[in-house]
Structures are given as structure tokens and as C-alpha cells.
Structure 1
Amino acid sequence: MAQERPSRIERRLSAILAADVAGYSRLMHHDEEATHAKLTTLLMEAVYPAIAEHGGRVVKNTGDGFLAEFASAVEAVRAAMQFQTRTHELTIDEPEDNHIAFRVGINIGDVIVEPHDIFGDGVNIAARLESIAEPGGICISSSAYDHVRGKVGIEFADLGEQNLKNIALPVRTYAAVRDGPSSETQVERASRARLSTPRLSIVVLPFANLSGDREQDYFVDGVTESLTTDLSRIAGSFVIAGNSAVSYKGRAVDLRQVGRELNVRYVLEGSVQRSGKRLRMNVQLIDARSGQHLWAERFEKPVVDLFDMQDEIVSRLANTLGAQLIVAEARRAERTLHPDAMDLYFQGRAWLMKGFSPEDVTQARSFFERALEFDPGNVEAMIGLATVDTAIGSSFTTDDGPARFAAAEAMVNKALSIRPNYTSAHSARGWVQIFTNRAAQGIREFEHALALDSNRANSHAALGFAKFYLGRAAETEGHIREALRLSPRDVEAYQWTCFVGVAKLQLGLDVEAVNWLRQSTEANRNFPIAHLSLAAALGLTGALDEARTAARTGLALNSGFTIRRFVAAQQSDNPAFLAGLKRTCEGFRLAGVPEG
């Protein structure tokens, strides 16, 4: 007898809409009959007509909700928007405690079809999206978003990748935003629903000791503890305490689960291995939502003094991570449809980290100004704007430097009136004071910043630059070397090597100046003053052809630079500084820099 072939399972690609009533159990507990009657009315007058009108079918009711199927994602979203709007109209006069509101999730997926039900991951994802939607809101998957974008007359807020319960991989999710004056509020609410994880939130997991020597545990634990402390000094950071992080020690963990359990955006993990007289450390920064590796670093050094090594490793990591976290937050902010003040601040900081070209500072200014429009008390944006004004005032491209510095100082003072111990504000004020003939006061500001955070590399570098303005150029190199020790790959390192170069010019050490300034131009080819200073140093050494080439490069980057503007911008009456300034101008002339 021939074996009977199994019946074929019917499958099809569908747009699945899952919906339920927010707080249904509470509503039923409060008044069963009234809740049932209201829900029935809403289904009959708002939901079912909208689904039918847009070609959908209700697959099943679930007591507090329903599952519907559409042949089109566009029609599924239109139906959802229609019945959500009608539901709001029908319930607008209801007391808040008795208010019925639907949460909706929409996904496109390949489903198994039966006469009175549909099954599969596509359905499960729609149900999970519904669970994270706001009452009265709609969340859709990226697969649905790709089909409806630009076709349904509404905007969507990007909620990023979401780890949904019992779904193996993260799902990129979008929240529908209604048009009208309440749009921003809805986006903020939608974002808070699933993006309430604090910005710059991170946990430093206990580093693994791979040496096989338990006596090394104290060193490994010390690195973890010190790094946790140093990261907590980053402005706006939220760092999980070591007592919580240590609970993961020695465990194989899913880093995305760690992120969910601790409500953090980033996880830092690492390992330490000692072999003979060398020590190797590997560190990775991971996005806790997606599990994606954002940054990795390896340190390998001879073991001399473990405690000194611990301090060096921690300071390097903290300085580098501060920059990496800002870049990561800026990338998140770029994907946000309606950014808030901090989203805009991070994007402004990211532009400044690229350099101080006219485009960089113009873009940064626009983000900081928009951030302050959203939040006039945002201290971070205030300091960003002050940094932009200081950068323009000291760029030798404008004749209104004094006005720029005055604006920067006013903004810094406002920030310090709100947060007196804000490290970045003290550093920003110090920079303004350097350029306004108050370098000695600037030194006190940088020393105050270092008292608040001894590993703040850019404050060490700023001290070196301030001493150059006081005619103490011989001290500049030591401060810069300390900054480079703490943060050898710092995004600002090209500026620091330039500081040493101009200090060497002041001291008459022109060959050394050339070497340092070449380091600066090689690290960042878009920093005009480094090229121009290199031109002066080369001119003074007699390498005139090279000097003129360097001058042309600098002037191409800063066409407004002239010797007159350079001299007018130098606010110091120190004799040694003025003598060095005169030598530099001689070098400029030899290199063909215009007098102006």
C-alpha cells in the first residue's frame, strides 16, 4: 500500500498586526462589565471597520486584544493609525483611570496559515513589538518600516535594535509619530519607553586573569576597580558600581543580557595575562543592545612595578574610552528622528573631535546652539559653545577675537554658576585666560581641573601651553609628555605635539621644533597652524623650499592667516614670549607668509 504523502503546510508572507489593551487586568479588576462593554464598542466602531477598510482580516481575538493579517504593510499601518485615532476620539472624555488604549505592533514575516490562526516568528515578533509600544502607540519592525517609509504620511522615531523576549536576534524598531504639535512629546515618550537606558551608561566587568597565577588576581581586580572609578569622572557618565559588576566574575555571560539586567548601553570587558616579565592586556568595548564590538585595544609592556603599570593602563583606557563613548553616542543620535539636547550635544562634540577646521567648528556650533534651544540649562552644550568661540578667536582668521573670547568666558561663567566643580568648565575658562593675557590664572584653572581628575590628559597638555605663554617654554615638553603617557592616541594629540613645536621655536631649538611639528602635521593634516608653524621653523633652519611648501599648505587650510593677525592675537606681555614671537614672524616671512 502506497504511503500517504503528508499534506503541505500553507505558508505566506504577511503583514501581521498584534494589539492589546494597555493595563487590561487593572481595568477588569476595577470594573469588569464596564470594561468589557467599552472594549466591545471600540472594537465594533473603531477597530474592525478600519481593518476591513484596509483589506485586512482579524485572525483571532485574545480577550484583551486581537491579531490581524494584511497583504500590505502600508495598509496595516494605515489601519492601525485609523483605529488609534478613532479610539482616541471615542475615549477622550473618559477619566484617565478608566481609559482604554491599544498598543500595536506590526511586522512582516513568513507565517504558517491555518483556518483560524497564524503562527511563526513573524507573529511572535509582532506580539513582542506590541508589548513595547506606548498606550495609543504603534511600533513596527525594520522589515515593515522599509515598506512603509514615505508612503503613509507619518514619521517614525528610530528606537534602535531591541532585544525582544524569546526572539534570538535583536530587532530594529521604529515608533510611529503622529503629525501635529504633540509630535516631539510623542517621540520622547516612545523613546523613553525603550530607550530609558542612561546615556554613557557602562559596566566594567571584572577582568579575567589568564595567567594561571592566583596571586595576580589582586592586580586584575585593581585595574577593574580603578577603571570603574576613573570612568565615573566622565561628564554625564553612569557607571555601575563594582559591587554589582563583581557578581559576574568568573561567569560566562551573554553581554546583551548583562546590558538588560543592569540597564546599561555599554559593557567593557578584558583579560590580563602575565608571561615572565611581560604583561598583556586585551580590552573590548561592546554595545550592550546589539552585542557589537565598538572598540578594542591591546596593551603589552614589560613588568616593572605593577602599581605604576596599573595607573598607566587605567588612565590610558579612561581617556580613550571617553572619546570612544562620545563617538558611539553621536552615532546613536544621528539615527534619532527627533534628537533631544544631549543627542545634539554629542553630535557637536563629535564634530569638534574631528578638528578645528571652519566646517568642523561651524557644524559643532549649530549642534550646541540647537541643544541650548531645547535645554537652556545644558552645561555640556554651554561648554561646547564656549570651546567653539575660543577656537575661532584663536584661529587667526578673524579680527573679532576679543569678542569671541568674551562670549566664551561669559558662557563658561554661566556653566560654572550651575555646576561649580565641572571639570570641563574649569579647563574651558583656563583656555580663554591663556588667550587674554591671563595665563597664570589659566594655570590655576587647569590645576583645579587636575585636582578634580588627575588623569585628565588634556589638562596636562593645557598646562604646558599656558607655561609657553608665560615664557616658560622649557617646561612645556614635560607636560605634553605626561599627557601623551596618559592618552597616547588621544584625538587631541596632534595639538599637543604642535604645542611642543612652538615652544621649541621660542627656545631657539628650530630643528627640534621641526621634528615635533612634523609629528603634528602627520597626525592631522587639516590643522593649519601646525603647517604654518612648521613653515616658520623650516625657514629659520634655512630649508626655504620646504618652508614655502608648508606655508602654502597652511594657507590653503586657513586663507585668512596673516602675520598681522597672528601678532594681534598674541595676548602676552612676557619678554621671553615676545622674543619668541618675533623669531616666529621672521620664520613666517622667510616662508612667504603674507604680512596682511
Structure 2
Amino acid sequence: MVQERPVRVERRLAAILAADVVGYSRLMHRNEEATHAKLTTLLTDGITHAISEHGGRIVKNTGDGFLAEFPSAVEAVRAAVQFQTRIRELTVADAADGRIAFRVGINVGDVIVEPHDVFGDGVNIAARLESIAEPGGICISSSAYDHVRGKVGVEFADLGVQNLKNIALSVRAYAVVQDGLSSAPGPSRAKLDLPSPPRLSIVVLPFANLTGDPEQDHFADGVTDSLTTDLSRISGSFVIGRHTAFTYKGKSVDLKKVGRELNVRYVLEGSVQRSGKRLRLNVQLIDSETENHLWAERFDKPVADLFDMQDEIVARLANALNAQMIAAEARRAERSVNPDAMDLNFQGYAWSYRGVEHMSEARSFFERALAIDHGSVGALVGLALVDLTIGASLLADNRVAYLSAAEANAIKALSLAPDHAVAHRILGGAYIFTNRSAQGIAECERALEIDRNLVGAHSAIGIAKFFMGRGAETEGHIVEALRLSPRDIFAHRWMHIAGMAKILIGADREAVAWLRRSIEANRNFPAAHFWLAAALGLLGERDEARSAAKVGLKLDPGFTISRLLVSEASNNPTYLAERERVCEGMRLAGVPEG
């Protein structure tokens, strides 16, 4: 039997040049036809001629870039320098946010050659070097540098050893220095005057369907679509549109490159997997500049109504991501030497999310922001949030003054931004805690028309029902708030409200369950201990009731029943009559009369 000879694979040593357009997807999203025409002109007038002049050939175009092969590293670098210079000349008059620029990576290696493509680590390294180059810059490997040093008339900056993605061995890299500026990360960005990413900018990459069942693609795509829509409702956010995001579907992507292409700071990616009657969704928020994971969550749900499940998952993610992105921006702002009003607002909100005990720190940042920008809606809403949070405590001193200040700042914010959902919600809260619950509910419903996932509006409506003597309706609104944001910093307050409502309608055992949940969520919230004492007292469990009262008094030694009675938030007759049960329960628990 004659054994067939193996097919010979053609290999050769070559200089590989990989080039890519900076922010191609963003540019195409802004103006497809103009971007395509301009890129075609640049390829014709600036790039193709330079490559052929230096003995190279374009192996293939990749839509937003190209791959070229040269027999000489010297000629590859000369060609790159020539066409990068020419592109700058051709685009110098273009607006900065619409200017086309290329990144270039060059490597020398032994590659597999086919008529219309080249393969191997030599190619992959060139592509990875391109990804770390600055816009308009050129990065080369040490293997290329050894060939070109002293021969190409340009200087190089040593970038040190680089750990390139999916490349097993580290590679030392060098950046070409042109016109006194290095194409290493940093200097050339200022030269090109490219805009920095908006602060709350994010792209939701298409969620991966790990099920293996194409029938589940619609669910994964639906989550991506809905989350993109909901995130766009976050005040001050910049969310890349669905059609641009879906150009990455099914592809292995470099997140740093995605961030640069789309000019966004954050990337959200996730996956969907179905197993039997359960569905699992994993999601993670990533800083595109560092590829650091900022937040991750996993959802396990029974497969029932996919649309209801999708709505719940999307709503919870939108609420969590809002807080996570603001926290990340606050950390950035802390490093700023000269913070602007928006930097200060982010820091203020980050402090407010830590709880009531940090409201003074939050206030200081909002006041500083307002001093810089007297019309800062974010600062006005932030100050209103601080005052409402303090005034909403029925046990706070000077609560009327706090609530009046919250109302004034919320109204001023709405005069500047009539559709600001959070401002409507805060104004609604100020009305609710000053005996105007019907007006408060109307404001909260307006907030939910603007942002259906605004959890604070759901909880506030539940509180309003409590003050209107309709405590039986309160629990449903609290459950909805907890469904949307189960780990919310204010969840303990919502649980407390549900427990209070249960006492007023005589469901003392259910009240105990809610109040214990509130205490588990935050053991340092004194009001929950006092109301738990009341519920236990009404149930005849006196020893436990006294123990709960003692814990409450340790946290708030000045609390008395009289103090509760003077902190009036409603004159509704049903509410006032039902509240007498609470006072009786507290007396049975040994809470001081005052």
C-alpha cells in the first residue's frame, strides 16, 4: 500500500503588520456612509500606495482594518510611518469626534501562508500589539525591533514586557516616536485630541446562549435589548445602541479594544444557560480601561413565563448597575486633582448609598458641586435626597425643616429638568411625610412613568398607603421594591414599613416576621427594634418585647412614646386610630412614655 505524502504547508519568515480603525463601530453608528467613504479614501490615497511602495501586500481587509505582509521588517515600519503621517495630513481638518485614526502593530515571525490569509503566533502577536498602540501610533515587537534598530530614521520608546491576551509568552514591545511624541499609551491621545469616554458610558454586549439550543437565543437577545433600554434611563448615562452592540455577537472580543472602539468606560457581558426546568443567567460589569471586574451576579430562576422572568432580571440589573457605575465613577473622582461638579456629585451619591449615617459626608460633596455649578440638577437632587432621608425618619429632630428643604430643592431641580424621575420621587416622598400622601403618590407614579424600575417610588407609594389608613395595601408595594432591588441599602427601611403596616391592621405575627427581617438587614436601625417590641408586646411575648425595647433604647436612648406621637406625618383618622395599637404595644414592652 502506497502511503500518501502529507500536504505541504507553506511557511515563511515575514514581517506582519496589523492595523485597525480606532472607534470604527462608534463612527459607523454616527454616520455609516460618510465613515465608509472617508475610510475608502484613506485606504486609496494613504495606505495602499505606502504598502506597495515598500514591497508589502495587503493580505486581507477586515472591515475596520487590514493585515499586511512584508519581506522586511525595515520596510514594514517605513510603510507604517509613511501612511500614519499621510492619514494625519488627510484628517487634520476633520472634527475630533469624527476623525479616523489607525492603530498599528508589527511583528516578525514564522507564519503559515495561504493566498488570501496568513496564520500563526506571528500574526496574533502583531494583532495584539496593535490593540495596545495609541490612536495614530505604531507598536512593534522586540523581534521586529532587533531588525529595524538604527535603520528606519525614527526613535522608539521601550514599553517593557507586555502580557498580551491569549499569547502564552510575554513580549517586549516598543512604540515609534514621531514628531517628538511617542505612540506609547498617553502622549498621542492628547495630540489627536480624541474625546475621553463619557463618565457613565456603557455597552451591553449580546448575552451568550450557553444552552446549545438555538431556541433560547431569543431570550438572551431579549435580555440584552431590554437592559440596553433600561440603562439608558439612568440620568447622565451614555448607552451604546442595540444595533452597534450586536455587531459583536458570537465573537471573542478584547474588552479594552471594545472600550476604545465605542469610546465607553464600562462593558456589561453575560450568559444564559437552561438546564431542565431552571434558567441561569450570569452577568458581570467590567471597567474597559483596566478589564477589572467591578460587579458580578448570578440569577437562578425556574423556567416559567420567560417574559416575566426577563423583566425581573432586567429591572434588578438596571438598579444594581446604576449604583455600581456611580460608585466606580466616585472612585475615579477621588483621584481627580481638580474635581468638577459632576465628579463631586458622583462622590456625594456614593456616600449616600452607604446609609443614613453617611448623609453629612454626602451633603458636603453636593454643596461643593452646587458652589461650582449653581444650576447642577444632580447636586440639587442629591441635597433633596439627603434631607428627605433624614426627615423621613419619624424619630428625627427638626424633621419638618429637613422635609421642607427636600421639597424646595426637588421643585428647583424639576424646574430645570421636568422629566427627572428621581426628583419626582423625592418630591413625592416630601409630600408623603408632610401629610400630603395623595400628592405624593401622584409624583411617584409620574416617576414610574419615566423610569418603571425606580425602586424608591414603589416603596414610597407603600409608605403613603400606610399613612392613608390603607395599610393592607402597603406590603404589595414593598414586595415589588424588594423584587427589583433585593440588596438595596435601604431595604431594611422598606421591611420596617411593611412591619409597621402589619401592626396597624392587626397582623402582629406577620409584623414580627417583617421586622425581624429588617433587623437582620441592619441591626443598627433603632426604629425596627421599637416596633418589634410593640408587636411582641401585643402578642403577649413580654420578655422578648422588653429585650427588643432595650436594644432600641441602647441605639437611641432619647426615644419615647411621646416623641413618636409628636412626629406627625398623617392626620388620617383610620391611621391615627390604628396607631394607638402601636403605642399600647410599646407600653407593654416597657418603652418610656416620655
Deviation of the 1:400 alpha carbon = 2.3
Deviation of the 1:284 alpha carbon = 0.8
Deviation of the 1:234 alpha carbon = 1.1
One-letter amino acid matched to 1:385? L
Aligned-partner Cα distance in 1 for 2:254–2:329: 22
Aligned-partner Cα distance in 1 for 2:288–2:565: 51
Matches within 5 A, 1:48-447: 120-121=158-159, 196-357=196-357, 360-447=358-445
SS in 2 for 1:354: coil
SS in 2 for 1:238: strand
2:493 paired residue number = 495
One-letter amino acid matched to 2:215? E
User: Which is worse superposed, 405-414 or 328-337?
Assistant: 328-337
Aligned-partner Cα distance in 1 for 2:556–2:327: 27
One-letter amino acid matched to 1:320? A
SS in 1 for 2:356: coil
SS in 2 for 1:121: strand
Aligned-partner Cα distance in 1 for 2:553–2:335: 36
1:481 equivalent in alignment to 2:479: yes
TM-score (norm 2): 0.68
Structure-2 change in CA distance of 1:553 and 1:334 (3 Å) = farther
SS in 2 for 1:571: coil
Deviation of the 1:485 alpha carbon = 2.1
Aligned-partner Cα distance in 2 for 1:223–1:122: 42
One-letter amino acid matched to 1:319? N
The partner residue of 1:546 within 544, 567, 589 is 544
One-letter amino acid matched to 1:563? I
1:585 equivalent in alignment to 2:556: no
One-letter amino acid matched to 2:351? W
Aligned-partner Cα distance in 1 for 2:227–2:346: 22
Aligned-partner Cα distance in 1 for 2:419–2:225: 23
User: Which is worse superposed, 525-534 or 437-446?
Assistant: 525-534
Aligned-partner Cα distance in 1 for 2:516–2:177: 58
Aligned-partner Cα distance in 2 for 1:330–1:549: 41
One-letter amino acid matched to 2:159? D
Structure-2 change in CA distance of 1:495 and 1:418 (3 Å) = same
Aligned-partner Cα distance in 1 for 2:552–2:160: 58
One-letter amino acid matched to 1:121? L
Aligned-partner Cα distance in 2 for 1:462–1:165: 54
SS in 1 for 2:300: strand
1:518 paired residue number = 516
Give unpaired runs (5+ residues) of structure 1.
1-24, 30-111, 136-163, 168-172, 175-188
Deviation of the 1:402 alpha carbon = 2.0
1:461 paired residue number = 459
1:535 equivalent in alignment to 2:551: no
One-letter amino acid matched to 1:428? I
Kept in 1: contact 2:158–2:175 (CA 8 A): no
Deviation of the 1:299 alpha carbon = 1.3
Aligned-partner Cα distance in 1 for 2:276–2:525: 43
Structure-2 change in CA distance of 1:353 and 1:130 (3 Å) = farther
Deviation of the 1:420 alpha carbon = 0.7
Deviation of the 1:455 alpha carbon = 2.2
2:574 paired residue number = 576
One-letter amino acid matched to 1:234? I
Structure-2 change in CA distance of 1:399 and 1:456 (3 Å) = closer
Kept in 1: contact 2:157–2:176 (CA 8 A): no
Deviation of the 1:547 alpha carbon = 2.6
Structure-2 change in CA distance of 1:364 and 1:471 (3 Å) = same
Kept in 2: contact 1:210–1:273 (CA 8 A): yes
Structure-2 change in CA distance of 1:165 and 1:220 (3 Å) = farther
> Any idea what the Cα deviations from partners look like across 1:144-195, whole Å, max 9, x if unmatched?
xxxxxxxxxxxxxxxxxxxx9667xxxxx89xxxxxxxxxxxxxx99x9788
Kept in 2: contact 1:396–1:560 (CA 8 A): no
Kept in 2: contact 1:480–1:497 (CA 8 A): yes
Kept in 1: contact 2:207–2:224 (CA 8 A): yes
1:595 paired residue number = 593
Kept in 1: contact 2:159–2:175 (CA 8 A): no
SS in 1 for 2:591: coil
Aligned-partner Cα distance in 1 for 2:448–2:537: 37
Kept in 2: contact 1:510–1:540 (CA 8 A): yes
Deviation of the 1:436 alpha carbon = 0.8
Structure-2 change in CA distance of 1:555 and 1:261 (3 Å) = farther
Structure-2 change in CA distance of 1:469 and 1:215 (3 Å) = same
Deviation of the 1:350 alpha carbon = 1.8
Structure-2 change in CA distance of 1:209 and 1:520 (3 Å) = same
TM-score (norm 1): 0.68
1:91 paired residue number = none
Kept in 1: contact 2:530–2:552 (CA 8 A): yes
> Any idea what the Cα deviations from partners look like across 1:492-542, whole Å, max 9, x if unmatched?
222211110000011121121111011011111222222222222222223
SS in 2 for 1:385: helix
Kept in 1: contact 2:388–2:402 (CA 8 A): yes
Corresponding pairs, count: 438
Deviation of the 1:586 alpha carbon = 2.1
Kept in 1: contact 2:387–2:406 (CA 8 A): yes
Structure-2 change in CA distance of 1:560 and 1:238 (3 Å) = farther
1:448 paired residue number = 446
> Any idea what the Cα deviations from partners look like across 1:231-275, whole Å, max 9, x if unmatched?
111111111111111111111111011111111111000111122
Deviation of the 1:118 alpha carbon = 8.8
Kept in 2: contact 1:396–1:562 (CA 8 A): no
Kept in 1: contact 2:156–2:175 (CA 8 A): no
Kept in 2: contact 1:502–1:513 (CA 8 A): yes
Structure-2 change in CA distance of 1:482 and 1:119 (3 Å) = closer
1:42 paired residue number = none
